[in-house]
Amino acid sequence: MEQELADFTGQEAALIFSSGFGVNVGVLNALLGKNDIAFIDLQVHRSVLDGLFRTNTKKIGHNNVDYLEFILKKERHKYETAMVIIDGVYSQDGDIAPLSETVALCKEYNTLLYLDDAHGIGTFGKTGRGVAEHFDLPGQIDIITGTLSKSFGTVGGFVAASKKMIDYLRYNTNTAIFSAAVTPQVTGSVLKAIELMRSDTQYLHKLWNNVHYLRKRLTEEGFDIKQTVSPIFPVMVRNPHKVEEVIRLLNERHIYACGVGFPAVTDKEARVRISLSALHEQKHLDTLIEALNEIDSLLHIKKHCQWNK
Ligand SMILES: Cc1ncc(COP(=O)(O)O)c(C=O)c1O
């Protein structure tokens, strides 16, 4: 399974963990110490922040390559190992990283690039290999991390990198060494998922047809879905109490969506988060739009009522 994941993500080797959260915590803790620095996007996943407690960090804004260049020029030379840490697809807003520019800057400033592609693997790229494939940058990312809990449909996570890096991590990553391995059921499911992804891109086409259709419909209907370009749709409500109510009303109509509020986002950024799958049919998406419109007539979510009203 490690070799399959490595091949699928275009890396030499991989190491499996029992959660994606544990990957980021363990790998970053193993690689960066007090003489090193991590340059991190403002919207990286919580697990990245929890892996950086032994090292120096600088925030680089969100998708801001000009600021990244400025800070690399100013700070890089003061440290031994430097690493830029970004997500491929941002988990709450559904936007994607400016990967080509980031790869070029990392090369110019002798800095490792760490890409958490939890949401990109299985969804982005011609054959679903993630944002590196989407931007046509195979083999140009030093470290790719992923989860088995999204497009693979199970639980667990992995890191994929050079053989030398993975050999080092295999003996130095506490969250892998001191935690149980994934179960045979997970391994079987993940191998099958990779086989399906490799053999047939019909699921990917179906998924992207759904994404284009839902984005068009939600925009036409006047919902605020930020700058999403992925199967993650934030429907902005900007009021945590209303989010709870919207989720309840969707559930009543047999639609499952996730309410997102503090601590994942601030109260003013509270939203309903919809994740699309290749198995959704257009009729499901029409039912969702109809339900959201009905709920809007009760709760006025399109208008972004003040969050504290
Ligand atoms: C970007 C990102 N990284 C890492 C994780 C953690 O993955 P897992 O659910 O496997 O712990 C998630 C999942 O929530 C995520 O969205």
Among residues 232, 199, 202, 197, the alpha carbon closest in space to that of 214 is found at 232
Among residues 166, 126, 172, the alpha carbon closest in space to that of 145 is found at 166
> Cα(21) to centroid of ligand 1, in Å?
6
Ligand 1 atom closest to the Cα of residue 155 is 10
Predicted pLDDT of residue 303:
73
Q: Is it the case that residue 308 has pLDDT exceeding 60?
A: no
Q: State the helix-helix crossing angle for 65-75 and 99-108, rounded to 10 degrees.
A: 10
Q: Would you say 111 and 84 are in contact if contact means Cβ atoms under 8 Å apart?
A: yes
Among residues 299, 240, 230, 233, the alpha carbon closest in space to that of 264 is found at 240
Confidence band (pLDDT; 50, 70, 90) for 307?
A: very low
3-state DSSP percent of the chain in helix, strand and coil, to 5:
45, 15, 40
Instruction: Please tell me the distance from the alpha carbon of residue 308 to that of residue 267, in angstroms, as a whole number.
Output: 9
**Burial of residue 153, with CB atoms counted within 10 A of its CB: 0-12 exposed, 13-18 middle, 19 or more buried:** middle
Query: Sheet holding 143-147: strands in order across?
Result: 13-17, 157-161, 143-147, 112-116, 82-87, 37-40, 56-59
> Cα(222) to centroid of ligand 1, in Å?
30
- Smallest CA separation from ligand 1 atom 10, residue: 20
Q: Which residues pair with 39 in a beta bridge?
A: 58, 84
pLDDT single digits (tens) 250-303: 999 999 999 999 999 999 999 999 999 999 999 999 999 999 999 999 999 987
Report residue 10 CA to chain centroid gap: 18
pTM greater than the 0.85 cutoff: yes
Output 92 or 306, whichever has higher pLDDT: 92
List, in order of start, the domains of the chain with CATH numbers: 2-199 (3.40.640.10), 202-299 (3.90.1150.10)
Cα four-point dihedral sign 210, 212, 214, 217: negative
Q: Write out residues with Cβ below 6 Å of ligand 1.
A: 19-21, 24, 45, 47, 87, 91, 116, 118-119, 147, 149, 157
- Smallest CA separation from ligand 1 atom 7, residue: 20
> Cα(151) to centroid of ligand 1, in Å?
12
Predicted pLDDT of residue 46:
95
Instruction: Please tell me the distance from the alpha carbon of residue 288 to that of residue 250, in angstroms, as a whole number.
Output: 8
Predicted pLDDT of residue 304:
60
Q: Would you say how long the chain is, in residues? A: 309
